[in-house]
Chain A
């Protein structure tokens, strides 16, 4: 991180053995400094150098894991303030709140939705990460029972919420083997909470009334031996929350201020009674640095949208999102339906398929693998050209399903028409479609309905 290629080079064996895949140790050091390779690619690096480099390259914000096995999720590990500077790494964990004084059917509904809600998008599954279990009744048995229920009925993360250490011990007893996040240690209960966290190696939240008190509390907790922390500066007014989140991230990344080198937690459910406003607060927290966000409820209409936003904000800006190469069926196409062609840049796919759906005209959409490049870029890179596209369409065997065999190329790639005709053969008709996706509905309606 902080080291230059030359500084790293000094610590390498300097044997130019090439086993890491590049010709010289200097080249490897340069790649390492640029974050392009892992140190583990060098088989001969000394342990001393390893430790030194690991310490230097540790992200300024600690990565904290909550949960176990396939249901675990990571937060923190961030290195930049703005996504375009590199990327954001570990998506904000989204959690739903349950309380031990809540009617049973309400809790049951929340757990059911938590388990059921999962959406596929660009080959990824979008789903929430955790259930928060809050002590509100003051009855330890009820708190424990709810923690047990959540543990039994879900398999992702758990957040136990109480500032009463004795109460927390009950929750920990119920589900410590699931590695729950404990919310929260405060200046008043720090010793007892540390004990619980250390005993079972659990991640712990530090909550204080403002940034200075938070820094002091974090020092105390790390001093007592707890390293897996999530931090909460206690602000509950959205403007204040935003400022605190920014201050924490900037102090950690720019000043390497250790007490703030942890992921944060934001609680929109404590900030408003309005379901919609709560979602809006959550979305702002998602943009600006929250590690975990806890909401009062998940419905399809808030969770799906927040997951989409999270996908957008946390997508690596340097790596285009790709869609699977295949022929998609839209609006129940039949033998007379046309095939529209495009590339597998996911944004292109979403927009084109959305416009075809809007047209209500039954169609096929042939999405060709162009390594995530858009139509014009892929064409100029020689990846979206007539013979390759024709080969792809031929291989799918779609021909046998069709009587009409019309294939439509994007207006911007009209020049590939000739080669495509040649590749597909004379029993196909190749046409040039509109340049902009927004004109697809009128084009399809005019020609195919």
Chain B
């Protein structure tokens, strides 16, 4: 029996953004259809996966993570190399040590670690601050300058510091990760502000702010779906950017990811954390993620397999 399937008319496309430099650089974005709707349009660049490392030895991390990385977590350079060996498309260096509410390490430390990590790996590198507007300017700006040949991804660029960080990205040719608090209008507004500043369209990614599984995932999910809708069917050119999801940190800080085996009937802790991260990943893929930063390499493997199979469908 003939089936008359509806066909959506798309009027826009997501911009293609080049991440990193050299042989291992890659393109994200370029979609002309909703996530994995390959029957309606093109998904030219499969979503990419990055692993998240810290500038200092992690404290209070789940055993499942510490076990897989072993001693490498004691040194960001070894850790970053390990991530590349594990097959990461890119690495995100989170500057946990610079958190003013914690160790409050300074720019010298941050620049040194970023430089060492950058020299040790050839895959694209993202540098992620602590979302403290002033402190992030203090540490991210000198990193942008020092690594001006690297085409880094720099974030989170938030409304409060978009001028300083936007200018740094502009001056040293990096990509700004424009981060807004789970709100499509604020996401758009920040992109407008960055444009006004002179940051060009090929240098912006959207971070919608990720709520992990059970911790606000539904908000991120719907903001991303709405952003894609506006971008692809309503010609909203200030939302036509690839989406960057920094989800590992959100998943692995939850109580559920850290509980020991069998506590609350929640099964094996190793699998539980990975599956929490993997389900967050698949949900974000379904709603439009282009780059996903996770913490467990098994999540990355599952995610990559899912992406490959979904695009083969």
A interface with B by C-beta (< 8 Å): 82-84, 116-117, 119, 121, 211-213, 215-216, 219, 237-243, 246-247, 250-251, 254-255, 257, 259-260, 275-277, 279-281, 283-284, 287-288, 299-302, 304-306, 308-309, 311-313, 315, 317, 347, 350-351, 354, 357-358, 434, 436, 439, 442-443
Contact = CB atoms under 8 A, between A and B. Distances in A.
A300 B266 contact: yes
Contact of A242 (B101, B256, B310): B310
- Which of B102, B214, B305 neighbours the largest number of chain A CB atoms within 10 Å of its CB? B214
B60 A358 contact: yes
Contacts of B302: 276-277, 280
A304 B266 CA distance: 7
B279 A304 contact: no
Given A287-B282, A305-B275, 6 more contacts: A238-B313, A242-B36, A243-B37, A283-B279, A305-B272, A309-B279
Contacts of A311: 214
Contact of A312 (B102, B213, B310): B213
Given A276-B271, A277-B305, A351-B215, A247 B264 contact: no
A171 B67 CA distance: 47
Interface of B: 1-6, 36-39, 60, 101-102, 131, 211, 213-219, 221-222, 225-226, 229, 253-256, 262, 264-269, 271-272, 274-276, 278-279, 281-283, 285-287, 298, 302-303, 305-306, 309-313
A216 B1 contact: yes
A439 B101 contact: yes
Contacts of B60: 358
Contact of A276 (B1, B6, B222, B274): B274
25 contacts: A82-B225, A82-B229, A83-B218, A119-B264, A211-B3, A212-B2, A215-B3, A237-B309, A238-B310, A239-B38, A239-B309, A239-B310, A239-B313, A242-B36, A242-B313, A243-B37, A251-B5, A255-B4, A276-B274, A276-B298, A284-B306, A302-B267, A302-B271, A312-B217, A443-B101
Nearest to A299: B267
B283 A280 contact: no
B215 A350 contact: yes
A316 B23 CA distance: 46
Contacts of A240: 313
Contacts, number: 178
B266 to A, nearest CB: 4
Nearest to A240: B313
A309 B280 CA distance: 8
A250 B6 contact: yes
Given A279-B279, A313-B283, A212 B3 contact: yes
B313 A212 contact: no
Contact of A239 (B266, B286, B312): B312
- Which of A260, A275, A283 neighbours the largest number of chain B CB atoms within 10 Å of its CB? A283
- Which of B2, B278, B303 neighbours the largest number of chain A CB atoms within 10 Å of its CB? B278
A313 B276 contact: no
A309 B6 contact: no
B279 A251 contact: no
- Which of B131, B221, B276 neighbours the largest number of chain A CB atoms within 10 Å of its CB? B221
B267 A309 contact: no
Nearest to A307: B214
A276 B267 CA distance: 13
Contacts of A260: 3
Contacts of B4: 251, 255, 257
A82 B229 CA distance: 10
A300 B276 CA distance: 11
Given A239-B312, A313-B221, A301 B266 contact: yes
Contacts of A288: 286
Contacts of A275: 271
Contacts of B282: 280, 283-284, 287
A215 to B, nearest CB: 4
B52 to A, nearest CB: 16
B1 to A, nearest CB: 4
Contacts of A315: 218
A354 B258 CA distance: 11
A368 B268 CA distance: 34
A351 B182 CA distance: 15
A117 B265 contact: yes
A299 B102 CA distance: 37
B278 A283 contact: yes
Contact of B265 (A276, A287, A300, A305): A300
